[in-house]
Structure 1
């Protein structure tokens, strides 16, 4: 699995898992939402192990940028709120930062 694909899949797994908890606590959804939420969070952690990085901390740091961009996509696709220009600018900055962390030359 390629690093970009692992990051994207991990991001949506994490967001889905966190959203399940949000739905229960904040939106009054059934506690049954927690089971797929936990499974999704386990999938998120497993997917990050496919990232091609020498150290977990570097993989996690780079993932943060992808998570921001994926969260904005979730905001629009699932929650129905269209990101504004500041959301999009911030997302691009985060993804560029993630790319620098992952693909930057190492000495």
Structure 2
């Protein structure tokens, strides 16, 4: 459930931020902001579903999933395939996110 919440949150955050990008940088209608804001609200709600007691730990671990999702967006939505440095960077981030989220903690 945690990974599903993270990937859903990443998609919602990227889509919401892209709506602002489209409006401000691509000259799209301000109406793009309506679904963009809704998407950002969905993003915030989805992060509350992560099974951890501390918000900061949930947000820190989410960073790795966000980076992976952003590179997938780069490839799927923008048509630019990630290079070897993108791939190495995201691998390091995913390992860090896993350590933060699932590392053993004293009781």
Scaled to the shorter chain, the TM-score interval is over 0.9
Corresponding residue number in structure 1 for 2:101: 102
Q: CA deviation at 1:92?
A: 1.0
- Normalised by the length of structure 1, the TM-score is 0.97
Structure 2 unaligned runs (5+)?
Answer: none
- The answer for the alignment partner of 2:74 in structure 1 is 75
Counterpart secondary structure, 2:58: helix
Report how far residue 8 of structure 1 moved: 0.5
Q: How big is each residue's C-alpha offset from its partner over 1:18-73, in whole Å with a ceiling of 9 and x where there is no partner?
A: 00000110111111110000000000000001101110000000001110000000
Segments of 4+ in structure 1 off by > 4 A?
A: none
Gaps of 5+ in 1: none
Output the TM-score relative to the length of structure 2: 0.97
Q: Secondary structure at the match of 1:79?
A: coil
| Equivalent position SS for 1:102 | helix
For the aligned residue pairs, the C-alpha RMSD in angstroms reads 0.5
Matched ranges for 1:1-107 at <5 A: 2-107=1-106
User: How many aligned residue pairs are there?
Assistant: 106
> SS at the partner of 2:53?
coil
Partner of 2:50, secondary structure, is coil
